[in-house]
Chain A
Amino acid sequence: MGIEFRGVSKTYADGTVAVTDFSCTVPSHSTLALVGSSGSGKTTLMRMVNRMVDPSAGTVLIDERDVRELDKVALRRSIGYVPQAGGLLPHRRVVDNVATVPVLTGTSRRTARADALDLLARVGLDPALGRRFPSQLSGGQQQRVAVARALAADPHILLMDEPFGAVDPIVRRDLQDQLAELQAELGKTIVLVTHDIDEAFRLGDQVVILRTGGVVAQTGTPQQILAEPADDFVRDFVGADRAERRLTTTEVDGRRIVVDGDGRPVGVLA
């Protein structure tokens, strides 16, 4: 299922311009990473897909169909959603959090719970944690539960809003690797919002860098953006001049060693 943003803009009731004339196509089974600093309109853009936000102008299409023609509730149930900071329901056990959407769409609670336990294992959690309440889990575990919940109805499209923003860097790295593994297996169409350019490069097939007001600074693959930053804003944002991005090679005992801008060795040239 592909997603197309066709000239969308959003001005909120208080006059805040969040998105300005944004167009982009996300092919089926690929990941679009929306990246930019806080307030650059990433969440607003992502929420246009499941109609949590209606654009002031332009249209969003899923498989060529204008989402405005679709029933909001049904549309949202058909799309996996990982909210910023998890958004787990605090009064429900982990297993019931994961089973939320299947139960809404009429799967029996029993079946939904059994599937939910499988999904917990899938995202790297001990199914025994299913009995707990969200507040009894660590931040990283809560994020995994949120991912499992988004996958529960086996949606074609997955929306993720800074899914790993609130966890420490080591756990974040682990979660990113696991998401990449899952995606290789599942092939969802993903819109990922992040303020972390490394995360965008690691997970995005296509990366859009936004500046304030939801204006596109550059769109491209991670390679394209690194190789040819469109302007100083992008160059600065991706840290093209940062020491760990400026790699050079030196020869040691006949082998080419790659070192970063600070002279630290980071690998061997194959």
Chain B
Amino acid sequence: MSLFGDALAWILDGGHWGGPTGIDTRLWQHLAVTFAAVALAAAVAIPLGVLIGHTGRGRLVVVATAGAVRAVPTLGLLTLLGLWLGIGLTAPLLALVVLAFPSLLAGAYAGVESADRGAVDAARSLGMSEWQLVLRVELPLGAAVVIGGLRAATLQVVATATLAAYLSDTGLGRYLFAGLKSRDYPQMLAGALLVAALALLLDVALAFVQRACRGPAPLAPSDAAPEAAPAKG
């Protein structure tokens, strides 16, 4: 049988499901690490991006962070953090947080910045406080872009979370490292396929959310009401 067929068979083998090293457990672990890393990064990056987008101050921070972080090889960072923090989940989690940060920051900044300036100015003139402007106008209008940043960050993290298995017994990466060690190539490919499937699933889900944030499509011209026949009263 082909390697691909062997990998599929490996995944479908009931013996590889259930228990502390089963596929289902590994899937959940992978998802949990991804979620934790993205959530931690978002907790800082999104407020910071919103602040920069709202005030227009500190744009350079966005550019500099994105550039600096993209230049850092994640595996190198992970090794460094591992040497410093030792074996365990902390080092990979930190590396993933760093990885997720720029996309989230850029998305939040660009989203808020992209909100129609005329609408924001009008809302301020009507008497919205700065908080209300952010929460009720800028974020709703920029939501699709903010979610776009979240989508990019999630995709990067879910793929790279494989490396969590490098320093801890966590996630789908275990199959890759275990397979590599014992030259069990079907197991390795199975791990890779599972990561890809999970990434695809998350991406599709977030794409739906992003689309829902795009706001109302204008009616077709034929549906638009004719110029008002004023019901004067």
A126→B228 contact, CB < 8 A? yes
B184 at the interface (CB under 8 A from A): no
Residues of A within 8 A of B216 (CB): 91, 133, 135-136
A188 at the interface (CB under 8 A from B): no
Q: How far is the CA of A178 from the CA of B116 in the complex (A)?
A: 29
Q: How far is the CA of A101 from the CA of B129 in the complex (A)?
A: 12
A138→B123 contact, CB < 8 A? no
Nearest chain B CB to A167's CB is how many angstroms away?
9
A81 at the interface (CB under 8 A from B): yes
Residues of B within 8 A of A85 (CB): 118
Q: A135-B216, A135-B218, A174-B230 are in contact. Are A52 and B125 (CB under 8 A)?
A: yes
A100 at the interface (CB under 8 A from B): yes
A252 at the interface (CB under 8 A from B): no
A178→B137 contact, CB < 8 A? no
User: Could you say which of B127, B219, B230 contacts A136, with CB atoms under 8 Å apart?
Assistant: B219
A136→B224 contact, CB < 8 A? yes
Nearest chain B CB to A247's CB is how many angstroms away?
30
Q: How far is the CA of A37 from the CA of B122 in the complex (A)?
A: 22
Residues of A within 8 A of B223 (CB): 136
Nearest chain A CB to B5's CB is how many angstroms away?
50
A152-206 contacts to B (CB < 8 Å): 171, 174, 178, 181
Q: A89-B119, A125-B228, A138-B225 are in contact. Are A81 and B126 (CB under 8 A)?
A: yes
A141→B121 contact, CB < 8 A? no
Interface residues on B, range: 20 to 34
A68 at the interface (CB under 8 A from B): no
Task: Mark contacts of A17-32 with chain B using CB atoms, 8 A cut-off: 1 yes-contact digit, 0 otherwise.
Answer: 0000000000000000
Most chain A beta-carbon neighbours within 10 Å: one of B132, B218, B224, B227:
B227
Q: How far is the CA of A140 from the CA of B224 in the complex (A)?
A: 12
Residues of A within 8 A of B47 (CB): none
A87 at the interface (CB under 8 A from B): yes
Q: A87-B121, A104-B132, A121-B231 are in contact. Are A137 and B126 (CB under 8 A)?
A: no
Q: How many A residues, CB 8 Å from partner?
A: 42
A76 at the interface (CB under 8 A from B): yes
Q: How many A-B residue pairs have CB under 8 A?
A: 100
Residues of B within 8 A of A76 (CB): 124-127
A141→B227 contact, CB < 8 A? yes
Q: How far is the CA of A8 from the CA of B228 in the complex (A)?
A: 40
Residues of A within 8 A of B134 (CB): none
B116-160 contacts to A (CB < 8 Å): 116, 118-119, 121-129, 132, 137, 140-141
User: Could you say which of A84, A86, A122, A140 contacts B228, with CB atoms under 8 Å apart?
Assistant: A140
Residues of A within 8 A of B137 (CB): 89, 91
Residues of B within 8 A of A81 (CB): 122, 125-126
Residues of A within 8 A of B86 (CB): none
Nearest chain B CB to A212's CB is how many angstroms away?
23
B219→A74 contact, CB < 8 A? no
Q: How far is the CA of A149 from the CA of B127 in the complex (A)?
A: 12
A-B contact pairs, 20 of them (CB 8 A): A73-B128, A77-B127, A78-B127, A84-B118, A86-B118, A86-B122, A87-B118, A88-B122, A89-B137, A91-B140, A91-B215, A124-B230, A125-B228, A132-B219, A138-B224, A140-B228, A141-B227, A144-B228, A149-B126, A178-B230
Top 6 A-B pairs, shortest CB-CB distance: A87-B122, A77-B127, A124-B230, A76-B127, A133-B216, A135-B218
With contacts A89-B137, A135-B218, A141-B227 known, what are 16 further pairs, Cβ within 8 A?
A73-B127, A73-B128, A73-B129, A78-B127, A81-B122, A81-B125, A83-B118, A83-B125, A86-B118, A104-B126, A124-B231, A124-B232, A125-B228, A136-B223, A141-B225, A178-B230
